[in-house]
Amino acid sequence: MNFAPVSNLPVWLPVNVDRRVLLATLVISVVTALLFGALPALRASAMNPMSVLKDESGSVAGGGRKARLSAGLAVAQIALSLLLLISAGLFIRSFRAAHRFNPGFDSHNVLLGSYDLFGDGYKEAEGIAFDRQALEKVEALPGVREASLADWVPLGFGSSSDSFVPEGYVAAPHEAIEAGIAHVSPGYFATMGLAILRGRDFAPQDSADAQPVVIINEALAQRYWPGRDPLGKRMKIAGKWATVVGVARTTNYYDLNEPPQPFIYLPLYQFYASGVTIHVRTVGDPLVSAGAVEQAIHQLNADLPLFNVATLDTRIQAGTFILRMAGMFVGVFGMLALALAAVGIYGVVAYGAEQRTHEIGIRMALGARPGDVMRMVLGGGMRLAAIGLVIGLTASLGSTRLMATLLFGVRATDPPTFVAVSLLLTCVAFLACYIPARRATKVDPMVALRHE
């Protein structure tokens, strides 16, 4: 099963079944069989013969004592299945919330492809010229709306940051002044659908010979120039004093759960980076244009590889595959635990009803109706289910808080998830109790009175 989106990104999950896995599974299976096989044997060897004879002579209490261990296991199964199903529900809701989340830019219909000019010996001036020509060729392709270059991809697997000196800001002792950075070409904000709230975008004239400029995000402006207009302010970064010419909307840069982060956009033609990713916004399916984009790059350099070709949506989804994988695994284990809990409570209720056959016969001979027997047997099973639910809810309220950092868009104590899973488990437990209770109402009083 593919948990990560289908792409050629280097996402590798080395999950293999080897000798160590098989050996560990074998050891766990043998130990489990010995442990749970030895417990009934030890219990049987410790029985008092006189009490056994009394139990066999029709003591109702004897059957109740025999069922305590089974009832306890059934309660544990219900509690465990509730915990697993609630955890799975939280992961699934987080995964869905991540897909509906607006990161602050438009990730749809954007094709990505990376190349690096360093290995081909391009100098800075030659690299900038190549980048300009590559954008011109790609923008001229049919179906392409905008194209730009950047040395990073938001919500991807990489990040870059640098220290800087904001003009007029007095740093506190031992304060680290640092922000995320990206080198982008003109047109990047239009390609990404990222709003510039004040000021302007980078222009082709922002070259190495022009005055250095930068664009910052709102979070950085509020952090270092609160209550002041950041346009025209200067900062020293990468050894240059650059002027702020624009303020962009704060988005999510590294993670869906991150708080607002200060971020700086540097013009690629002034702060050169040899390794870049071309961002191409298309009219339709971006992958349809992948071949044409690669061909346009190869027209400039036939030996330059274009790698990590994928859509921006795929790159973002790849960062959420852990939520999908966790929801799938925990959900499967939860459903298995739910099935075991249903079988367990069915067995306990059926065994208890069988042990009380003589008692049921007496009750029916004295005038008890089938509905009374149904409520008696069904009530005993549902009491076990209620105990399991209370224990499971208590354990879930504590344990789900531990995975709060893995969740997105949903609280660790999300009421809809807790209520939905509890209702599901209640319905399953009711069905498991109803079958033996229904069977108990069919008992013939005369046959039951002769039951030993």
pLDDT at 157: 67
Residues whose CB is less than 8 angstroms from the CB of residue 57 and which lie 6 or more positions away in sequence, other chains included: none
Kindly write down the DSSP assignment for every residue of 124-190, as one continuous string. Answer: HHHHHHHHHHHHHHHHTSTTEEEEEEES--TTSS---EEE-EETT--PPTT---EEEEEEE-TTHHH
Q: Which residues pair with 184 in a beta bridge?
A: 150, 267
Q: Give this prediction's pTM.
A: 0.70
pLDDT at 159: 72
**Residue-wise pLDDT tens digits, 30-80:** 887 887 677 666 666 666 666 555 554 444 444 455 567 777 878 888 888
pLDDT at 231: 95
Place of tokens 């930068």: 214
Residues whose CB is less than 8 angstroms from the CB of residue 439 and which lie 6 or more positions away in sequence, other chains included: 350, 353
Residues 11-35: what's their mean pLDDT?
75
Residues whose CB is less than 8 angstroms from the CB of residue 182 and which lie 6 or more positions away in sequence, other chains included: 150, 151, 152, 160, 263, 264, 265, 266
CA–CA separation, 408 vs 257, rounded Å? 6
Residue 219 tokens, joined:
């979070």
pLDDT at 14: 57
**Residue-wise pLDDT tens digits, 293-330:** 999 999 999 999 999 899 998 887 766 666 667 767 77
pLDDT at 187: 94
Q: Flag the least confident range among 132-136, 212-216, 323-327, 374-378.
A: 323-327
Does 439 score more than 50 pLDDT? yes
